[in-house]
Each structure stands twice: as structure tokens, then as C-alpha cells.
Structure 1
Amino acid sequence: MPDPIEHGLWARTRQAVRAEVARIAMELFLERGFEATTIDDIAAAAGISRRSFFRYFGTKEDIVLGDLAAQGEQIRERLQARPDDEDAWTALLNALRDTPRLGQDEATMLKISKMLYGTPSLRARSIEKHLHWQTLLTSEIRRRLGTAPGDDHDLRANAIVACALTCLDIAGQAWTQSEGARPLEELVMAAITAVRQSTPGT
């Protein structure tokens, strides 16, 4: 039977190594560019083999966007914890607002965002992650709207979540293009308000 203490130590060590490899890779991406940085470059800079790299990350894109999956789970938890008297849009907006950001300072986030919107493979993976978020969040929005279980013709919840995530995306793009001139949350609110005005009662 595995020793739980030893297993816990192994897990913490693995997590620390993964974080260090990710930090080194991000420095290379921001210095050289995402597409100009190879997996071999990252492995060499981190002092690990190419094979070891794939123990921690499936692709280069996962280094930049891997935390989005975990963030989606956090948003779902916060959405489920919102008061039942909040309407669907308000609950979703508050859940998005209350979820901690990924920890970088604003200048670094701006550099990462430029890289994200300027790299097709990263954009594609980002959209894929947001589709996963939509799957995570829609059931709670359906509950708040009173959608009957199994009613596949009531598309309100799917539409609300998809619109909210699209608002996040276009706000992020506007924030990036403006070099962060307006706060990101302000841009998200402006986008969501524009959409919400067309969906009264939700």
C-alpha cells in the first residue's frame, strides 16, 4: 500500500517542478516569441529532457493556457455559491468577478495577452478551454432559469453562458489592443451590458 506521506511529497515535488518549467517557458515565450520557442529550447533551459517535458505538459499551449481548466472549476464553484435570488446574468457576472486571476502583474498579463491574441494555436486552444467552461457553467444557469430537466429546446442558458464568455473574449482583445488603457473589468461590463439589454428577464 502506498505511503500517503511519500505520495504527498512526490505530488508537491512534481507540482513545484511543473511550476518552475512553466516559469522558464513563459520567460522564453515573452523574450523570443511563442512560435520561435521550441520544446527543446524549454527543456534545455529548464535542465530536463524532452521526454521529461511531456510528463508535465502535453503541448506548449498548455503552458500558457493550462490553468484555464482549473479556473473554470473555480468559476463553477462560485456560481453555485451565489444567492438563489440573483438572476442568471447577475450570478454569472459575480462568479466571474469573484474568481481570482492567475497571479501575474498587469504588465505581464498584457504581454501574455498580446501573445495569445497574436498566435493562432493559442487562440484555438483558448476557445477550446472556453467551450469547456460553457459545459461546466450551463447546468447551474439552467437551474436558475427554471429550465425543465431534459428540455433540449430551451436554449436560454446555453446562450447566456456563450454570450458571457464571448464578452470576456472581446473585452480581453479590446484591452490588449488599447494597451490596457481602460480596466479590463470595465470593458467586460460594457460588453455584457450591451448583450443583457437584449435579454430582459434573465
Structure 2
Amino acid sequence: MARGAVRAMLAEVALGLFRRDGFDKVTINDIAAAAGVSRSTVLRYFGTKEDAVLGALDAHGEQVADALRARPAGEDDWAALRRALDIVVDIYRQDPDAALTTTRLVLATPALHTRQWEKQHGWRPALARALAERGASPRPEITHTVRAAAALDCLNIAIAHWARSDNTLDLADLLDEAFAALSV
């Protein structure tokens, strides 16, 4: 089995256990036993239980930064950030049921919520660099960092509202609304 397939299988097993038994009650050993692999195999793919749920977030930050760099040069930074975050919206749209289940798990589990924040905090430098590289207008580094942080907060607020709506509200519309709240 290819590395990506093993990682996906382990993540799926872990999520199933977390949903059934609760995040805090499941151990790495439980995940290994349920997946029919050794503890060291699980740890080779995920350093922590949190990473079994949130491991995909690592790649999303660079994907959003790449999308930001690809936005039209004449587009203002705020609009470019909003459109670049469509990468995340599209991920949620691919499998909304799984996204909703995972989002609820993250929001209900302090350790996961904290780890998600840490991972997204790691996106800020990449987004700030991407804004600077767009070069629409020279701005101080702090401006790019603040805009990146605000965009990520808008994303998280939109996702939380989307989850509370039970996927009855459109995530892209909620993200537009969050961005609009800061552009007034």
C-alpha cells in the first residue's frame, strides 16, 4: 500500500475511534490495534493523536499561499486573500459530511482546537510572504502578517458558523460575510 493510502487509512480509523469513544479516551495503541498495525507505524505517520485528525492542514497552508501568489496582480490584497481561501472551501465541499464531523470534533475537543490554531498560526508567515511577493504595493511586513491573521480568523469564524448551521449555510457565503465585516 502506498504511503498516502496508509496515512489516509490510519486517519480514517482514528477518526472512527474518536467519534465512537471520544478523543481523550483513544490512545495511539488503540488506533494501531484497530488498524492492524504497530504503534510505531502509527507514529511514523502521525506524531500525535491530534495530527491524525489535523495532519492534512499542514499542506493546506502552502496551497492557500500558492493560490494567493496566483491571484491577479491588480487585485487588492484583501480580495486576493478571500479568493485564495477558496482552496479550503473546496476541500470542505468535496466531502461535507466528513468535514462537518471533523469540524465538530475539533470544536468540541480543546486539544484539537489548540493544535488546529497552532497549525494555522504556522500558515501566517507563508501567507504574509505571498502577499509581499504579489508586490501590488510595498507595505510593511506587519501589514501582511495582520492581514493574513485576520483572513485566517475570518475562515475559522465562517467554519464555526457553518458547523453550527449543520451545513445548511454555504461556507463560501459565510466567508464572504466575514471578510465583508472587516472591510467596512
What is the TM-score when the length of structure 2 is the normalising length?
A: 0.90
Determine the C-alpha separation between the residues in 1 that align with 2:132 and 2:60.
Answer: 21
Query: Among 59, 67, 75, which residue is 1:70 paired with?
Result: 59
What SS does the corresponding residue of 2:25 show, helix, strand or coil?
Answer: coil
Is the counterpart of residue 147 in structure 1 residue 138 in structure 2? Answer: yes
Larger displacement relative to structure 2 (89-98 or 111-120): 89-98
RMSD, aligned α-carbons: 1.9
Q: Which moved more, 1:119-128 or 1:27-36?
A: 27-36
Q: State the Cα deviation string for residues 9-65 of structure 1 (Å, max 9, x = none).
A: xxx722222221112111212222222222111100111111221111100110111
Q: Which has the higher helix share?
A: 2
- The partner residue of 1:165 within 134, 152, 158 is 152
**C-alpha contact (below 8 Å) 2:32/2:39 kept by paired residues:** yes
Q: Does 1:29 align with 2:11?
A: no
The match for 2:71 is 82
Q: Does 1:194 align with 2:181?
A: yes
> Where in structure 1 are there 5+ consecutive unaligned residues?
1-11, 198-202
* Aligned equivalent of 2:98: 108
Q: 2:172 aligns with which of 185, 193, 201?
A: 185
> How big is the shift at 1:146?
2.5
Amino acid at match of 1:46: A
Provide the residue aligned with 1:94 in structure 2.
83
Is 1:48–2:37 an aligned residue pair? yes
**Cα distance, 1:98 vs. partner?**
4.1
Contact 1:24/1:42 (CA < 8 Å) preserved in 2?
yes
Number of matched pairs: 182
- Mean CA deviation greater in 171-180 or 84-93: 171-180
- Rg larger for: 1
2:73, 2:136 within 8 Å by CA — same for their partners in 1?
no
Give unmatched runs, 5+ long, in structure 2: none
1:104 shift after superposition: 5.4
Distance 1:175 1:103, change over 3 A: closer
Task: State the Cα distance separating 1:170 from its structure 2 match.
Answer: 1.1
After TM superposition, give the deviation of residue 145 of structure 1 in Å: 4.9
| Structure 1 residues 17 and 81: alpha-carbon distance in aligned structure 2, compared to 1, 3 A threshold | same
- Aligned partner of residue 23 in structure 2, secondary structure: coil
Whole-Å Cα distance in 2 between the matches of residues 63 and 52 of structure 1?
Answer: 12
The amino acid across from 1:161 in the alignment is A
Partner AA of 2:170 in structure 1: P
TM-score, length of structure 1 as denominator length: 0.83
